[in-house]
Structure formats: structure tokens, C-alpha cells
């Protein structure tokens, strides 16, 4: 069997590209469906360590294999451009022939767009199932941004079904040629398949390409109409404002976890701080006090946000707030927030070093604290630090006005 194509037959390299792509696509769909089912269990808080480990493994395989398919697709397209393309055996059937070419455009385009959108989604988010070597975790010009991750994730989901539909039409067409027309269309792509006479009339590519673009546009437009690109965050009651000697003007309250050996960072959008502070301490070395209330459902934590809200983790539905109350004291010439942190009705004593600078009536402060998630009954089903580290880093930075 020759390696290259002719006008009547496909060569061994083209056939190899075709069947490798087909096998990889079927494997990717299976991995994606199984992995998504496991992920639903994790988000619901019903998964044990074994389920979590399986989900991470399957998604890592899915992502890495997807990018391998992306590389194969690019090589396949380059090879197809360089080779003569065998003509259709029914090119004189205008509608059917143009439909076949349209499906081929959808297949080739989706083979590039589906894995690429998945890669963008991975690069824009944090957490869960790393891509394996030799592919990287990031992409140039793709920021780690929840909005970018949401859009690219929706595009990936939509285009995978365009790809699935195209494969179904492609397979149905091949079967129709083989069973009903009894021609050599399918046999030409099988190992050892020979040549066949093509019709003189052949469809052009302009109209099928326009038709393929219309299919992609219709899929995106329908999805946008359904709100898939602008999903609203679950409604939640905002924390009430507090009266304070020092009013926070701006600030961030963030956490960092280590999952699968990689750091995943997130932040709380809704929190309040009631602060009293005097530059001159009292006789006990106390400068004032701070009381912070945090709305747990306002946390964004990359791709594991839903998991973090589940019953085995923050259990946000039952315990929607966490509190930190502390005295601001001087200890060994350093300012310390010495008090308690309460999460899920569990309260433990903590001490957080604070860096503070005051100019007139404006203060800037920052601090960091490391806690063990197990002390609060968080993620008790995940006992392996290789999957989820015990230590959680909490950091804050704010600007306040007297």
C-alpha cells in the first residue's frame, strides 16, 4: 500500500491519521463522560478518596490525550494540504456531495477547536487534574481569569457536541455508501483498500465551508441565547455593613490550597471587618481589636469552587459564615492579631502576625496565617496530602480610613 494519496485512493499515512484520530476521539468521549460523573459526586460531597483520585487521573489523561489529538489534527491537516485529495465517488449527486464536504469541514475544524478550547479553559482556571508532560499548564496571552475560564469551558462543551454530530453524520454516510450504494467509499479508507473511479463532477469547497461556519455560528448563538456564556452566580444574601472606627476602603481576603502538588488560589468577595486601633497601646499592650465575618459562598477557588462548598468541605449551605475575632497586641516588638478563628461551628485559637503602616488617617495592613483544614473538619474524606494538603494559607491585605 503506497504511503501517499492519489486522485483515486488514500495512502497509508492518511489512513493512519484517520483511524488514530477516530480511536482517540472515542477514548476522549468515554474519559470525559466517566470523569464528569465522578466530578459530580465530588461536588456533591459524596466521594471518598478513591473517587477523587480516579477523577484526577481520568481528567489528566483526558486533557493530555486531548492535546495529543490537537497535535495529531494539525499534522493531519498539514498532510492533507500537501497531498492530492481523492475525489468523491458520487460527486454528481450535488446535495449529498456538498453535505459530505460540509461534514469534513466540521470534522477538521472541530478537531482543532475542541482541544484548543479545552486547553484555554485549563490555562484560565486553577486546580484539579494537571496536564502531563510535554504539554504545559498555561498558554501565552491566556490569563487565569474566571470569566475566560467560563467562556472557554462553554465553547469546549458546545463544540464537542458539534464534533459528535459530525462524526455521527460521517459514520452514517460511510455506512450508507457501503450498504446501500455498495461503492468503495468506505473500503478506500480501510487497510488494503484499493482505488475507485471518481465522478467527473466534484463539489467545490466554498459553499460547504460557509455551511460549516453557519453550523458553528448557530451552535454558539443558540447557546448564548440559553445563557451558557453568562451564567449567574447563585444568589446569596450580602453581609450587612458594620460600623467601625476604621473603615475598610479596599482589600482582599484570599486562601491558597495545594491540590495534586499544585497551588490553587482563591478569594472571598464578601467579608466585613470591624476594627478598633490606637497607636498607643494600653497597659496590657493591646492596641485594639478586629472582628471579621466572611461569607463562605462568596469564595471562588478555580475549578474546585463547587467542591469547596460541599458538605465534606465548607458545607456552605449549613454554615454560610466564618468569623475571626482577635485582639491587636504588641508582642516582641511585632503587631499580632491574637484570637480565634471559627469555621463550621469549630473555633480554634490562632495568632496572625500583622504588618501595619499608618499615614495620617489612612492605614495599610497585611498578614498571613496557616491552618490545618482537619482542625475544622474540612475535607475529612481526603486523607492523602498528595491529593489535598492539610495546610491552608490565609492572607489578607487592606486599606482602611480612620
pLDDT in tens, 102-116: 999 999 999 999 999
Burial classification of residue 66, based on how many CB atoms lie within 10 Å of its CB (0-12 exposed, 13-18 middle, 19 or more buried): buried
Asked if pLDDT for residue 61 goes beyond 80, the answer is yes
Could you tell me if 393 and 370 are in contact, meaning their C-beta atoms sit under 8 angstroms apart?
yes
Our count of domains for the chain comes to 2
DSSP 161-183: HHHHHHHHHHHHHHHHIIIII--
Query: What pLDDT, on the 0 to 100 scale, is given for residue 67?
Result: 97
Question: Quick one: 251 and 219 in the same domain?
Answer: no
Question: Quick one: 189 and 118 in the same domain?
Answer: yes
For residue 266, which of 309, 329, 323, 214 has the smallest C-alpha distance?
Answer: 309
Q: What is the pLDDT of residues 381-393, one digit of tens each?
A: 888 888 889 999 9
Question: Quick one: 120 and 263 in the same domain?
Answer: no
In this structure, is residue 174 part of a structural domain? yes
For residue 382, which of 64, 48, 132, 93 has the smallest C-alpha distance?
Answer: 48
In this structure, is residue 147 part of a structural domain? yes
What does DSSP assign to residue 261?
T
pTM to 2 decimal places: 0.80
Could you tell me if 11 and 86 are in contact, meaning their C-beta atoms sit under 8 angstroms apart?
no
Question: Quick one: 175 and 281 in the same domain?
Answer: no
CA–chain centroid gap for 64, Å, is 14
Question: Quick one: 64 and 147 in the same domain?
Answer: yes
Residue 266 burial (CB count, 10 A): 19
Q: What is the pLDDT of residues 355-382, one digit of tens each?
A: 999 999 999 999 999 999 999 999 888 8
Residue 95: C-alpha distances to residues 31, 163, 165, 170, 379 (Å) = 36, 21, 18, 15, 58
Burial classification of residue 380, based on how many CB atoms lie within 10 Å of its CB (0-12 exposed, 13-18 middle, 19 or more buried): exposed
Distance CA(254)–CA(138), nearest Å, equals: 22
Residue ending a domain, among 225, 258, 287, is 225
* pLDDT-based confidence at residue 226 (cuts at 50, 70, 90): confident
In this structure, is residue 253 part of a structural domain? yes
Question: Quick one: 86 and 152 in the same domain?
Answer: yes
Query: What pLDDT, on the 0 to 100 scale, is given for residue 236?
Result: 66
Query: What pLDDT, on the 0 to 100 scale, is given for residue 235?
Result: 60
* pLDDT-based confidence at residue 233 (cuts at 50, 70, 90): low
Question: Quick one: 170 and 267 in the same domain?
Answer: no
Question: Quick one: 272 and 157 in the same domain?
Answer: no
The enclosing domain of 160 has a CATH number of 1.20.950
Asked if pLDDT for residue 234 goes beyond 60, the answer is no
Q: Is the peptide bond before 249 cis (omega within 30 degrees of 0)?
A: no
| Mean predicted confidence (pLDDT) in 147-157 | 92
Distance CA(72)–CA(23), nearest Å, equals: 12
In this structure, is residue 241 part of a structural domain? no
Distance CA(297)–CA(316), nearest Å, equals: 6
| Mean predicted confidence (pLDDT) in 320-325 | 96
Distance CA(326)–CA(340), nearest Å, equals: 6
Asked if pLDDT for residue 283 goes beyond 90, the answer is no
In this structure, is residue 299 part of a structural domain? yes
In this structure, is residue 336 part of a structural domain? yes
Query: What pLDDT, on the 0 to 100 scale, is given for residue 312?
Result: 86
Query: What pLDDT, on the 0 to 100 scale, is given for residue 284?
Result: 82
Query: What pLDDT, on the 0 to 100 scale, is given for residue 347?
Result: 97
In this structure, is residue 69 part of a structural domain? yes
Question: Quick one: 185 and 316 in the same domain?
Answer: no
The enclosing domain of 276 has a CATH number of 2.40.128.110
Looking up cell 469546549, which residue turns up?
156
Question: Quick one: 205 and 272 in the same domain?
Answer: no
Structural domain for 323, as ranges: 247-401
Query: What pLDDT, on the 0 to 100 scale, is given for residue 332?
Result: 85
| Mean predicted confidence (pLDDT) in 48-57 | 84
Question: Quick one: 178 and 251 in the same domain?
Answer: no
Q: What is the pLDDT of residues 93-148, one digit of tens each?
A: 999 999 999 999 999 999 999 999 999 999 998 767 889 989 988 899 999 888 89
Residues ≥6 apart with Cβ < 8 Å to 320: 236, 295, 296, 297
Question: Quick one: 182 and 284 in the same domain?
Answer: no
Query: What pLDDT, on the 0 to 100 scale, is given for residue 241?
Result: 84
In this structure, is residue 238 part of a structural domain? no
For residue 294, which of 264, 354, 253 has the smallest C-alpha distance?
Answer: 253
Question: What residues pair up with 367 in beta bridges, in sequence order?
Answer: 354, 396
Average pLDDT, the chain: 91
Amino acid at each position: 500500500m503506497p504511503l501517499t494519496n492519489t486522485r483515486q485512493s488514500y495512502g497509508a499515512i492518511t489512513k493512519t491519521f484517520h483511524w488514530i484520530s477516530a480511536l482517540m476521539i472515542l477514548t476522549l468521549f468515554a474519559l470525559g463522560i466517566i470523569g464528569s460523573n465522578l466530578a459530580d459526586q465530588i461536588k456533591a460531597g459524596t466521594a471518598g478518596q478513591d473517587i477523587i483520585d480516579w477523577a484526577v487521573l481520568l481528567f489528566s489523561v483526558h486533557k493530555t490525550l486531548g492535546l495529543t489529538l490537537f497535535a495529531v489534527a494539525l499534522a493531519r491537516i498539514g498532510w492533507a494540504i500537501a497531498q492530492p485529495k481523492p475525489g468523491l465517488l458520487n460527486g454528481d449527486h450535488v446535495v449529498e456531495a456538498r453535505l459530505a464536504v460540509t461534514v469534513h469541514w466540521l470534522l477538521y475544524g472541530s478537531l482543532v477547536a475542541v482541544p484548543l478550547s479545552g486547553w484555554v479553559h485549563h490555562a484560565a482556571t486553577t486546580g484539579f487534574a494537571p496536564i502531563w508532560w510535554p504539554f504545559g499548564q498555561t498558554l501565552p496571552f491566556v490569563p487565569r481569569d474566571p470569566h475566560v475560564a467560563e467562556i472557554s469551558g462553554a465553547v469546549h462543551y458546545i463544540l464537542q457536541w458539534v464534533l459528535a454530530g459530525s462524526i455521527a453524520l460521517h459514520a452514517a454516510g460511510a455506512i450508507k455508501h457501503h450498504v446501500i450504494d455498495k461503492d468503495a467509499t468506505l473500503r478506500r479508507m480501510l487497510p488494503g483498500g484499493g482505488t475507485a473511479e471518481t465522478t467527473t463532477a466534484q463539489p467545490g469547497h466554498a459553499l460547504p465551508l460557509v455551511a460549516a461556519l453557519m453550523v458553528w455560528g448557530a451552535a454558539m448563538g443558540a447557546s448564548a441565547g440559553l445563557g451558557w456564556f453568562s451564567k449567574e452566580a447563585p444568589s446569596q444574601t450580602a453581609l450587612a455593613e458594620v460600623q467601625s472606627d476604621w473603615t475598610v476602603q479596599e482589600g482582599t481576603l484570599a486562601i491558597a490550597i495545594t491540590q495534586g502538588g499544585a497551588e490553587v488560589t482563591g478569594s472571598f468577595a464578601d467579608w466585613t471587618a470591624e476594627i478598633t486601633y490606637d497607636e498607643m497601646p494600653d497597659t496590657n499592650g493591646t492596641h485594639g481589636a478586629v472582628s471579621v465575618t466572611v461569607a463562605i459562598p462568596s469564595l471562588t477557588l478555580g475549578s474546585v469552587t463547587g467542591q469547596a462548598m460541599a458538605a465534606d468541605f465548607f458545607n456552605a449551605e449549613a454554615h454560610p459564615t466564618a468569623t475571626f475575632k482577635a485582639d491587636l497586641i504588641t508582642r516582641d516588638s511585632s503587631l499580632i492579631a491574637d484570637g480565634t478563628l471559627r469555621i463550621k461551628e469549630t473555633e480554634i485559637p490562632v495568632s496572625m502576625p500583622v504588618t501595619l503602616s499608618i499615614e495620617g488617617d489612612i492605614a495599610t495592613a497585611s498578614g498571613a496565617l496557616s491552618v490545618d483544614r482537619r482542625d475544622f473538619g474540612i475535607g475529612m474524606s481526603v486523607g492523602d496530602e498528595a491529593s489535598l494538603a492539610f495546610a491552608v494559607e490565609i492572607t489578607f491585605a487592606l486599606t482602611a480610613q480612620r
